[in-house]
Structure 1
């Protein structure tokens, strides 16, 4: 099989920020052609979870997403802090955003949000046996509403295109397949 990998010849940072970093690479393609200016967004890795309570309700969060200018219905999740393990990060995010702890948290897959321009990975989990143990503990610029849905309602929300975040749709489809309801 032909090697399609590019060789990175040099990198320069255009911008470094807490949530996103922009890098400019010079690369050589396998056939020797040079790509002078390939821009890469460096983001931290993310986690998200399809979170199901003891009552078999799916927890979802509704929040404003400024880049798209929308109020978005999503599954809980967020950024992995430093070298934090993804499973620890997802449990932390679930507790912070929903106030729920879960008996079982199972890895269901990972995806690259946009491997053509960004370098990060999103790890998806299925969390089951959720119990409300505390209130929310949100980040400074986070404001979200926790909502509960049946699995059938979530399937209908997907069919009706009411969940706009692609990575969350992916995790929901993985989880529904794992649960044997899709």
Structure 2
């Protein structure tokens, strides 16, 4: 028999509310009766990302500055799912905005938690195929994104050399490469 592990939330207090992240403090009771007086939870909106393949089977990657880490990061396209938006619709919107490409095939690969010990959101991870350039980028005010194209073998080499470091994107790339039979599990 597996013992009960889930905590009971006795109360919550919001310490900060922002457009990208909200911080709350939960008072919780553990199954054995112990009280956790202040457990901090970051509330984020759900995210979506995609391994986006063009009509000629190139993988679109985006290069952008990530201020919290102070790095220029090579990533797969993705972003925040808007309130009330279906994840696949949000992903299509993000692909169009960030890359200018539209895709005729989208497949959900997996759902991931970035860090379930402190954050409450889910990342919906897709494989997008058949991408065709249909417009220029439509970036948010604080976005500067360079779109690059790579072969599957080049992406595998970038992963092997630890040149792609965003953990959710690395995970999605491995799921996509396995789906494409470009790697074996």
Determine if the TM-score, normalized by the shorter chain, exceeds 0.5. yes
**TM-score band w.r.t. shorter chain:** over 0.9
Which secondary structure state, in structure 1, belongs to the residue aligned with residue 5 of structure 2? coil
Alignment map for 1:67-106 (pairs within 5 Å): 67-106=68-107
Q: TM-score, normalised by structure 2?
A: 0.98
In 2, Cα distance between the equivalents of 1:39 and 1:27? 11
Matches within 5 A, 1:37-52: 37-52=38-53
How far does residue 164 in structure 1 lie from its aligned partner after superposition? Answer: 1.1
**Offset of 1:103 from its aligned partner?**
1.0
Q: Aligned residue for 2:25?
A: 24
SS of 1:153 mapped into structure 2: helix
How many angstroms apart in 2 are the aligned matches of 1:44 and 1:17?
A: 11
Equivalent-residue separation in structure 1 for 2:160 and 2:31 (angstroms): 42
Tell me the matched-pair count: 182
Regions of 4+ moved over 6 Å:
none
Q: Match of 1:115? A: 116
Q: Deviations over 1:69-125 (max 9, x none)?
A: 000000000000001000000000000000000110000001000000000000000
Which residue does 2:37 correspond to in 1?
Answer: 36
Q: How far is the alpha carbon of 1:3 from its aligned partner?
A: 1.2
Is 2:66 the partner of 1:56? no
Offset of residue 14 of structure 1: 0.3
In 1, the alpha carbon distance for the partners of 2:22 and 2:178 equals: 35
Q: Secondary structure at the match of 1:117?
A: coil
SS of equivalent residue, structure 1 residue 126: strand
1:9-20 → structure 2 map (5 Å cutoff): 9-20=10-21
Cα distance in 1, alignment partners of residues 96 and 171 from structure 2: 22
Q: C-alpha distance in 2, partners of 1:78/1:3?
A: 35
Q: CA shift at 1:134, angstroms?
A: 0.4
Aligned twin of 2:133: 132
Q: Which runs of 5+ in 2 are unaligned?
A: none
How far residue 2 of structure 1 moved from its aligned partner, in angstroms, is 1.2
Paired residue secondary structure (1:91): helix
Does residue 174 of structure 2 align to residue 173 of structure 1? yes
